[in-house]
Amino acid sequence: MADRLTDADLPRVYADLGLPGVADIHVHFMPDQVLRKVWAYFDAAPGGRWEVRYRLDETERLRILGELGVLAHTALLYPHKPGMAAWLNDWGVDFAARTPNCVATGTFFPESDVDTYVSSALDRGVRVFKAHLQVGAYDPRDPLLDPVWGMLADARTPVVCHCASSPTPGPYTGPDPIAAVMKRHPDLTLVIAHCGSPEYADFLDLAQRYPNVHLDTTMSFTDFMSERSPFPSSELPRLRDLADRVVLGSDFPNIPYPYAHQIEALVRLDLGDDWLRRVLHDNGMRLLGRGQ
């Protein structure tokens, strides 16, 4: 495309919309040894087509986020086994304390002390949690997690949840397990990662059923995702109507294209400047507790 946006173009895009920058609810920062394992996973992806675009040290990644106009972001963390989540939460609290634009981020896993360390994380200022049902391969309906979902619902604390089946299904991915959680905890502020790809329609149904369910845009509508799991054009009217509950997510730094391409993909949906302002800035600022 001759008019392909570059990262350097983004300040102009934001200015044209009257925005000072964006809020990104789906950014990953992790302890170095954990992040390197995540990168190794992408390196081994079939076909070798997933090249992590921003494979840089932590200081450089933070500098780039500033240049991209990211005003507020998360540091999404997730465990793949018991005994990880509590120390990941400790790291997340410390990282946010030394990173002004980052909101303290936590996670959890179904284990005997999960309600204790989630309560502690909330007391220490964790503002958003990450649940990764694909990587963790756990059932969100596990009785050990029921008090956690209730605690987070009561605290109005967002949970960014990878519960859909892209890029590969897990034993508890898809709409039904997390829908059962929402039925039990209808006030839970749930953010469906990747717009629920590939079960887009089912997760739009969930968002229409529960007023605190949101969809994050992570990788959605990009050329990379559209080749694999395109968002159905027939669902764009529903996406437009949910303008207050669609929120920018990017998956930075673990993306195989420039950050600007995520913004470009949203712009070219042509759902209007007001929709873009809410998705790129207002909704994320609200969910991350950074006001407007």
Measured CA to CA, the distance from residue 220 to residue 211 in angstroms comes to: 22
User: What residue has token string 């790291």?
Assistant: 91
Q: List pLDDT tens digits, range 42-94.
A: 888 766 668 899 999 999 999 999 999 999 999 999 999 999 999 999 999 99
Beta-bridge partners for 36: none
DSSP structure string for 213-264? EEEE-TTTTSHHHHTTSPPPGGGHHHHHHTGGGEE----BTS-SS-HHHHHH
* Of the candidates 101, 100, 104, the residue with the CA atom closest to the CA atom of residue 88: 104
Q: List pLDDT tens digits, range 88-109.
A: 999 999 999 999 999 999 999 9
pLDDT of 18 over the 80 cut: yes
Question: Domain range spanning residue 43?
Answer: 7-287
CATH of the domain at 124: 3.20.20.140
Q: In which element (H, E) is residue 80 found?
A: none
pLDDT of 287 over the 80 cut: yes
| pTM tops 0.85, yes or no | yes
| E strands, the chain, in order | 22-24, 70-73, 105-107, 128-132, 159-162, 190-192, 213-216, 246-247
- 292 falls within a domain: no
Q: What is the pLDDT of residue 50?
A: 80
* DSSP-derived 3-state class of residue 60: helix
Q: What is the pLDDT of residue 45?
A: 74
User: What residue has token string 């200081």?
Assistant: 59
Q: What is the pLDDT of residue 189?
A: 98
* Number of domains within the chain: 1
- 2 falls within a domain: no
